[in-house]
Structure 1
Amino acid sequence: MTQQVFRADGAKITAYLDAPEWEGVPAAALGAFTCKTAAAGADVLAQALAFIREAGLRRVIGPMEGDTWHSYRFVTQSDGSPEFLMEPAQNPVALKVMQDAGFAQISSYFSARVPLTQTALTAPPTTAAFEVTPWDGTNPEALFDQVFTLSTAAFSRNAFYKPIGRDAFLAMYMPMVPLLKRELIFFARRPDQSLAGFLFGTPNYAEGPKPRSAILKTYASLEKGAGQHLAYAFHKAAVAEGYDTAIHALIHEDNLSALRSAAEGAEVFRRYGLFGLVLDD
């Protein structure tokens, strides 16, 4: 058994025994943690930690639903603005329960917003290494198949990376197809048409059927400069589509994209954390 759900009065948590490694050491993860009271939360957390200890693991990370392809991170700081589409929900009681149990923050992230009138003012230097074009809106399964191949290569060096199978990836992302807006999805292709990078943007449908903000959700690249060109194309397209705000979503504080977001003048409105605990022997 690689995972187990634990429940108490109004609380639930899932322990995963095959989580990503933490600093090169096998680790377990705790995800889907909800609790109405701190006492009930502490109860299920203690049960989950006992299960992990019995399995022989001593490092625990969370919140994480098995891997970073699925939901992970707690909101740690907020200006109170509404959640955007696909953002981790605020869970202050569960966060405090884990902190009280000794979990400390081991990775930091943020989301920022910027008026689109401040973005895409200067085009990146021209390059012959790749060309950025929008998705044509056809064959979404082929789209996600390409995204899977590049993602596994681009993210493999990231902390807490764990491989995922192609079928599992497609099963997770194909339900998103009705939300896709082709004008906000871009590819960077080399002269031989091989994929050098991609960017996924989406309207912030959490605002309703006519959102005013567009989310720069995910981008990855294998060529130097491709990320900058993709972000420029996204901001320019979002302006043309009539959005007034860009949300730079869920950025790791140490990533180059954090510097690019700051350079655009984006202001942080939410911070997130991934937490870890080393169990005593």
Structure 2
Amino acid sequence: MTQAFNQGTASVTLFPEAPDWDGAPTMALGKFTCKSAEDGATVLTEASEAARRAGARRLLGPMDGTTWNSYRLVIESDGSAPFLMEPTSGPSDIAAFEGAGFAPIARYFSAGVALADMRNPPPGETDIEVAPWDGTDPEAHFSQVYDLSLSAFAGNAFYTPISREAFLGMYLPYVPVLRKEFVLFARNARGSLVGFLFGIPNYAAGPSPDAVILKTYASLQHGAGQALAHAFHHAALDAGFTTAIHALIHETNTSAQRSAQLGAHVFRRYALMGRRLDDDAG
């Protein structure tokens, strides 16, 4: 059961079930807000001690229980407005976490690329065929994505699987605003699904945005990711968008290299913070 803590201008929730870190009992601190770094550090320390008493030896934050929910702090920004589904942070958040003994344990970034100037060469010879969603039966199509994601994301840091029902509950509400050309499926010569890509216009900027977000893509076969990304950027340019946002990429992921090769420029950096409770004195 989650537990809420409050101190002055700050509040945080302790999630007793969280992704494993270092093979040690792990909990997460999420739903964090603060107006002062001092209050933030105090409430995080209080919640950390409660986690220790409950048996935790590792803490992750900010994370609302799993990586399927909101997580990560903004640690560097060019000041541009948040894009759709992007995690946000208050100006005192990073100082509060550092003041409570947390340090970055995973780093991510978002980058933007001008589509007209992008270096987007076609993928090499491959048996992979990329096709957009036909707009029918969204539940069936996203169920296929769910099945693929269990394998594609299994090796990701701090990944934990969720139920099919929870997955559909996250994606199906976006169906009314999806554009079919930005929901892509990659299949091999046998017709097996080997990759998917989920993109969406940046509606946080208004009903007619000029940027489209490459939110999620994954593949099970070499070359599928590159083929999906190429098709996505080509479709975005054809649709009249001027910018593509490469969202929330782990710094060590292959996607980071591909983003740089396309000429994208980082405009935001993020960190997942961690604290090893068994390293603390006392």
Equivalent-residue separation in structure 2 for 1:5 and 1:179 (angstroms) = 34
Once the two structures are TM-superposed, the CA of residue 120 in structure 1 deviates from its matched residue by 5.9
User: Which stretches of structure 1, 4 residues or more, deviate above 3 A after TM superposition?
Assistant: none
The answer (yes or no) to whether the contact 1:28–1:52 under 8 Å persists in 2 is yes
The two structures, once aligned, show a CA RMSD in angstroms of 1.3
AA matched with 1:141: E
Within a 5 Å distance, the mapping from 1:60-99 to structure 2 comes to: 60-99=59-98
Q: How does 1:235-274 map to 2 (within 5 A)?
A: 235-274=233-272
Find the aligned partners of 1:121 and 1:81 in 2 and give their Cα distance.
25
For 2:241 and 2:88, how far apart are their aligned partners in 1?
A: 24
Which whole-Å CA distance do the structure 2 matches of 1:91 and 1:66 have between them? 20
Q: Which amino acid aligns with 1:263?
A: Q
Which residue number in structure 1 is paired with residue 152 of structure 2? 154
Amino acid aligned to 1:116: L
Corresponding residue SS for 1:92: coil
CA contact under 8 A between 2:112 and 2:246: conserved in structure 1?
yes
Report matched runs for 1:23-38 at 5 Å: 23-38=22-37
In the comparison of the two structures, how many residue pairs are matched? Answer: 279
- The amino acid of 1:255's aligned partner reads N
Supply the distance in 1 between the matched residues of 2:170 and 2:3 (Cα, whole angstroms): 21
List aligned pairs for 1:162-181, cutoff 5 A: 162-181=160-179
Q: Which position in structure 1 is the counterpart of 2:46? A: 47
Deviations along 1:3-54, one digit per CA (max 9) or x if unpaired, are 2111233322111111001122231111110012233323321221122011
Structure 1 match to 2:212: 214
- TM-score in terms of structure 1 length: 0.95
- The residue number in structure 1 matching 2:223 is 225
Counterpart CA distance in 2 for 1:21 and 1:91 is 27
Structure 1 residues 108-147: aligned runs within 5 Å: 108-119=107-118, 121-128=120-127, 130-147=128-145
Distance 1:178 1:261, change over 3 A: same
Amino acid at match of 1:231: A
Equivalent runs, 1:163-202 vs 2, <5 Å: 163-202=161-200
CA contact (8 A) 2:17 2:27 kept: yes
- Aligned pair in 2 of structure 1 residues 57, 124: CA closer, same or farther (>3 Å)? same
| d(CA) in 2 for partners of 1:14, 1:57 | 15
Letter of the 1:15 counterpart:
L
**Do the aligned residues in 2 keep the contact of 1:111 with 1:271 (CA within 8 Å)?**
yes
Contact conserved, 1:120 with 1:232, CA < 8 A, in 2? no
Q: Does structure 2 retain, via aligned residues, the 8 Å contact 1:111–1:269?
A: yes
Secondary structure, in 3 states, of the residue corresponding to 1:251?
strand
Distance 2:108 2:162 in 1: 22
Overall identity of the aligned pairs, in %: 57
Q: Where does structure 1 lack aligned partners over 5 or more consecutive residues? A: none
